[in-house]
Amino acid sequence: MTKLSVNVNKIATLRNARGGNVPDLIKVAMDIEAFGAEGITIHPRPDERHIRYQDARDLKKVVTTEFNIEGNPVQKFMDLVLEVKPTQVTLVPDSVDAITSNAGWDTIKHKDFLKEVISTFKQNGIRTSIFVDANTKMVEGAAETGTDRIELYTESYAHAYLEGDAERCRAGILPFIEAAKMAHSLGLGINAGHDLSLDNIKYFKENIPHLLEVSIGHALICESLYLGLENVVNMYLNKLK
Ligand SMILES: CC(=O)[C@@H](O)[C@H](O)COP(=O)(O)O
Ligand SMILES: NCC(=O)COP(=O)(O)O
């Protein structure tokens, strides 16, 4: 069984567009859990363009499933995570001006730094995960940091899947199968995320052994819009009769 953690960044993006509290991020997160999701993920960025640091504090009070906070462990982020104490922290090496996450950690180059950060979080009872590319060397490096889990960065798989034919899908997923096997053999738990969607998730799940959790945001919110649009347009038409 693989847990679904819903990333609510995009709900915050929509809320922030008008300056008010619509949609209400806290209510949406609670509803997502009530609908059956097994976790809530947020990825506060330093400019707070979507999730605000206060959202993390407010969500902590209501999330009853797994609460996962992702981000680059700069001091401000570390302080927030240590204050909020989510179930899991996922370390992502993104730069301040990145549009979205675009690379996994070089776990060999940054081993000492990661070791120190991970040890701090673990001493505070927070499970740790490191965002890595599907590369067995990076998985081996991750194991040496003491992290509990890795999160496989799935953008390259999602692109390969989009290209459509079976051969490209297979080539796209092979590094992930190898990385997952390596992670499991080293005692690491396996999460995955980035650009996973209703189209590509089944093939990924069927092929990746020991997959504990996926975090999905962008596609899930877009799909929710499309799948709800017909219903809502008709609700308006009914009111305008
Ligand atoms: C680590 C990861 O892949 C996601 O957290 C993704 O980066 C979401 O962040 P944005 O919503 O800011 O794109
Ligand atoms: N860790 C990945 C995540 O939380 C969501 O990524 P995406 O589905 O928004 O690409």
Residue 97 confidence (pLDDT): 85
Rounded distance from Cα 137 to ligand 1 centre (Å): 23
CB 7 within 8 A of CB 217: yes
Rounded distance from Cα 153 to ligand 2 centre (Å): 9
Give the tokens for residue 212.
Answer: 């504990």
User: Does 50 belong to an annotated binding site?
Assistant: yes
- What pTM was estimated for this model as a whole? 0.97
Residue 158 confidence (pLDDT): 96
Q: Whose CA is nearest to atom 9 of ligand 1?
A: 100
User: Does 45 belong to an annotated binding site?
Assistant: yes
Grouped pLDDT means (10 residues each) for the chain, 241 residues: 97 97 98 98 95 98 98 97 98 92 96 98 98 98 98 96 84 96 98 97 96 98 97 98 96
Rounded distance from Cα 153 to ligand 1 centre (Å): 10
Amino acid identity, position 97 = D
Amino acid identity, position 208 = I
Residue 214 confidence (pLDDT): 98
Question: CB 171: neighbour CB atoms within 10 A?
Answer: 12
The whole-angstrom separation of Cα 18 and Cα 10 is: 14
Taking the CA of residue 196 as reference, the ligand 2 atom at the shortest distance is 8
Q: DSSP letter string over 15-34?
A: HHHHSS--S-HHHHHHHHHH
Residue 33 confidence (pLDDT): 98
CB 57 within 8 A of CB 86: no
User: Does 170 belong to an annotated binding site?
Assistant: no
Residue 166 confidence (pLDDT): 82
Give the tokens for residue 12.
Answer: 């915050």
Residue 192 confidence (pLDDT): 98
- What Cα–Cα distance (Å) separates residue 210 from each residue in 1, 63, 177, 189? 9, 25, 10, 8
Cβ of 131 less than 6 Å from ligand 1: yes
Cβ of 189 less than 6 Å from ligand 1: no
Q: Whose CA is nearest to atom 7 of ligand 1?
A: 101
Residue 165 confidence (pLDDT): 79
Residue 64 confidence (pLDDT): 98
Question: CB 238: neighbour CB atoms within 10 A?
Answer: 8
Domain-wise residue ranges, the chain:
3-239
Cβ of 213 less than 6 Å from ligand 2: no
Per-residue pLDDT reduced to its tens digit, 181-211:
999 999 999 999 999 999 999 999 999 999 9
Q: Which CATH architecture has domain 3-239?
A: Alpha-Beta Barrel (3.20)
Cβ of 149 less than 6 Å from ligand 2: no
Rounded distance from Cα 44 to ligand 1 centre (Å): 9
